[in-house]
Amino acid sequence: MNTFSIETNETSPSHGNHFRTIDYFRASFLTIVTLSSFLGDSTILVASIKYKVFSLNKVIVTVIQHLAVCDILSSCVFILNLVEMLYGSNREDLTLCRAKFYLLSFSFSASFLITALLTTTKLLIVKYPLRAVSLTKTKASLVCGSVWLSSLIPPCFMFTMYHLNFIHPAYVPPITGGEVKYCVTLVYQSWKFCLPVIMIFSLLPSLVILVTSAWLICEAVKVVRQKGDRLRREGLMAVIATAVVHSLCTLPLAFYYYAFEKAFEKASENSDFSLMKLAYMATYDTVGFSFMANFYIYSITLTSFRKFIQQRVDRLKKTVCCSTADVEEVIRYSYRSIDRSISSKQRQSGVPGMI
């Protein structure tokens, strides 16, 4: 197996400290994104499944739930990347590196397809409301299930290409330094073998998202001008915002892979990976905003979800206040008990005390 051993030219102390600072900042960012995604998307799932908070079409709610699961799964990639970035990985054992990128290709493919399904479904419901009555939650779950199954094709493709030596790992030093390096990416030896997969699971869904989102924006403008139903307006805004944020967050990474893939080999030959490392980190980490953005999008655009969050926050405040009051009462009771005990001992010993 051929590998690219990419150096960052950290022989200069100032240069090494510069990248070390960037890596620590990136580790903090990955931690924040992961925690925000887990908390936010878990809240979306609980609010939609248990409390039925979303006042949207049940088909749209089902797709939103699958998108939340996809975001949580994508955040797991950040956890693996964080562990590998901090401690490095064994260059003889690429299990963690391969698992990271298999999971990445699976979750990203599912994210593109589910987002495209979300915008397309919303557009069909808006354009054909009478026919949308026949859409059920069961049908939506079956379609989403087929999306998950089809998203297994890219990791299977990567698995095949890896064992055929068409994919090579590229390494950079971890934050903790030392000779052990971690796999920053997998480099395709030739793009002609992966163009069909890229077209089906990346370019085509992106095109669908752009077209349907533009169409939905036109419909949203009509609803606003006609002063339409508030729930309909909120649903349109939520779906449009989700699609726009997803597109903006994934576009830099797509451009990076398409434009700079061959530069990995050139950077390896020149032992100059500084610019490539910065470009990869910036574009890869930008995708993390889409993992945690949906919680904030729904909080802003959906009144029912915002009220649910406010109720939970108020309940949490009351619980904390009650707990604090109970602790203070216990402390006061303890002090009174101590004072009574001291006064009793003083009376028994005949020593005057402060009673």
Band (pLDDT 50/70/90 cuts) for residue 211 is: very high
- Is pLDDT above 70 for 16? no
Question: Which of 36-45, 177-186, 293-302 bottoms out in mean pLDDT, i.e. has the lowest?
Answer: 177-186
111 by DSSP, 3-state: which? helix
Of the candidates 292, 219, 309, 294, which has an alpha carbon nearest to the alpha carbon of residue 61? 294
Q: What pLDDT is attached to residue 188?
A: 56
Cα distance between residue 172 and residue 170, in whole Å: 7
pLDDT digits (tens, 9 = 90+) for 192-209: 566 677 777 888 898 999
Sheet holding 167-172, edge to edge: 4-5, 167-172, 182-188
Note whether 285 and 26 are within 8 A (CB): yes
Cα distance between residue 255 and residue 282, in whole Å: 12
Chain-centroid distance, C-alpha 35: 9
pTM for the whole structure: 0.80
pLDDT digits (tens, 9 = 90+) for 125-169: 988 888 888 888 999 999 999 999 999 998 888 788 777 766 666
pLDDT digits (tens, 9 = 90+) for 30-66: 889 899 999 999 999 999 999 999 989 999 999 999 9
Q: What pLDDT is attached to residue 2?
A: 40
- Is pLDDT above 50 for 14? no
Q: What pLDDT is attached to residue 262?
A: 55
Q: What is the DSSP letter of 51?
A: S
Joined tokens for residue 48: 């939609």
